[in-house]
Amino acid sequence: MKPTTLLILLSASISAAFAQQEFTQRGFIESYNQFYPDTVPIDRSNIVSDELFREDMNFKLTPNLQINAAFDGRFDSHQQVERTASLDFWDRGLQRPAMSIRDLNLVYTKGRFTATLGKQFIRWGKSDILNPTDRFAPHDFLTLTDDYFLGVTAARFMYDTGKDSIDAIVQPWFTPSRTPLLNQRWTPLPPDTWSDLYANYGSAYPGRASFGVRWNHTGSAAEYSFNYYDGFDNLPLYNVLPAPSPDVFGLQRFFPELREMGGDLAVPMHWATIKGEIANFSSSDKRSDQYVLYVLQLQRQIKEWNLVGGYAGEVVYDSRSPFFFSPERGYARSFLGRAGWTIDPRSDLSVQGIVKQNGRGGLLEATYSHTFGQHWRATVGYVMVRGDENDFIGQYRHNSHEIVSLRYSF
């Protein structure tokens, strides 16, 4: 879909919505800044500044029909954002688009049935920090420790009785996760062995749609779901191809087929809530690993403290790929937890940590945030990364950094 088509659709929607006088919006402008004390061979920058404008709109055309739309405008100091002024919809670029449609979807409800068509956010799973069953949620991993989700263009059909829901999804257009840029610090490769040795052959995107179905039951004693996904891994593997020069090899990203079968569970007890999630990943692609990821956590609220802690495990029963980038697998075989403290109505403190069970890698992120008046929020924080260079987390040990951000919400 061309941006102009989208704009026309958006304009028509806005006009129709205003005619019905049913319009809500929210948004913010944020300056998010990271200060890295250490430089790395591939990246000599100490400061990365990212500016974001976001506008989120909801148009209720009739009681049964609504349109959601959101727009992002970005600029940064570190070339993580494209410098072209075009409006992006598909989120397939290696860099973040300067202007993009974050989501744009039509929601139709009729009784217990809901259909959502268009670019949207779909979240599955119940655990915190790591969600193995969350298959329709590609990430932006340009800065690994600040990853966020990307929308997918899909048709979602849900039948919801209140206690049980069936969720069926068809995603005809693939959206990949955005992986760290090869010339920046979150790709931990020495420049002299890398940057001059490969030719970028782009990406080979899947030629068919992805499908998923999930049944969720909400009971008084427990909430659980089962899901099945047949599609593609949103994180790439790499094809090595011949290049024009013998000293150079060609590198092409591809997204292997992926089938996932899993479930999640939340059992609220008097003393804590038990949360679990498990997923089995298999693939017809001989270059893709087959494995199981699982998470088991306890969550407890103590006064103004919200505590979550547990373990994320991985069992690889068919190892086929020697090289891959997968944060969810990299964070597995770890103890993970989060503590959030609501200090008062205006300020809160959050600490999140992941420690590998073998002690070879660890990540700790602490942030303090304070609101001023009705619109402003300031956040300061520190992300500490430690470990061995052979560990997924430890390889980023030079990327500890401070965070200072300021957001104006409207």
Partner 1 sequence: MNSVRAGRRVASPARQIKTVHCLLAAALMASPLLAQSAREIVQTSQDRTRANSEHYEGVLTVIDSHGKTTTKRWIYDRIGSFGNSKAILRFTDPPEVKGVALLIINHPDRASDQWMWRPAIERDTRVALQDRSTRFFGTGFSFEDLEERDVDQFDYALLNQESMDGAPCWKIVATPKQAKSSQYTRTFLWIRKDNYVLAMMQGWSKNRMTRSIHYTNIARVQDIWTARRLEVWDAERRSTTVLTLDKLQYNTPMREQDFTVEALRRLG
Q: Are 134 and 216 in contact (CB under 8 A)?
A: no
DSSP 8-state symbol, 14: H
Among 49, 203, 252, 273, binds partner 1 (CB under 8 A): 273
SS3 3: helix
Q: Is 218 in the site for partner 1 (CB under 8 A)?
A: yes
**In angstroms, rounded to a whole number, what is the distance separating the alpha carbons of residues 363 and 184?**
19
Which region among 21-29, 170-178, 246-254, 397-405 touches partner 1 (by CB under 8 A)? 21-29
- Report, in Å, the least distance between residue 304 CB and partner 1: 7
Q: Is 217 in the site for partner 1 (CB under 8 A)?
A: no
Contacts with partner 1, 73-112, as mask; x by CB under 8 A: ----------------------------------x-x-xx
Tell me how far the alpha carbon of residue 198 is from its chain's centroid. Answer: 28
Q: Which two tokens stand for residue 58?
A: 């909801």
Which region among 76-84, 270-278, 281-289, 352-360 touches partner 1 (by CB under 8 A)? 270-278
**In angstroms, rounded to a whole number, what is the distance separating the alpha carbons of residues 261 and 263?**
7
Looking at residues 156 to 195 of the shown chain, list those that interact with partner 1 (rule: CB under 8 A).
Answer: 158, 160, 162, 165
Strand partners, 381: 367, 403
Q: Which two tokens stand for residue 268?
A: 């609220």
Looking at residues 289 to 348 of the shown chain, list those that interact with partner 1 (rule: CB under 8 A).
Answer: 299-301, 303-304, 306, 342, 344-346
Among 90, 121, 157, 194, binds partner 1 (CB under 8 A): 121
CB-wise, 57 or 292, nearer to partner 1?
57
Per DSSP bridges, beta strands 198-204 and 249-254 are: parallel
Which amino acid belongs to residue 353?
G
Sort 260 into a burial class: Cβ within 10 Å, 0-12 / 13-18 / 19+. buried
Which residues are near partner 1 by CB under 8 A? 26-28, 56, 63, 66, 107, 109, 111-112, 114, 116, 121, 123, 149, 158, 160, 162, 165, 218, 220, 223, 266, 268-273, 299-301, 303-304, 306, 342, 344-346, 371, 374-375, 377, 409-410
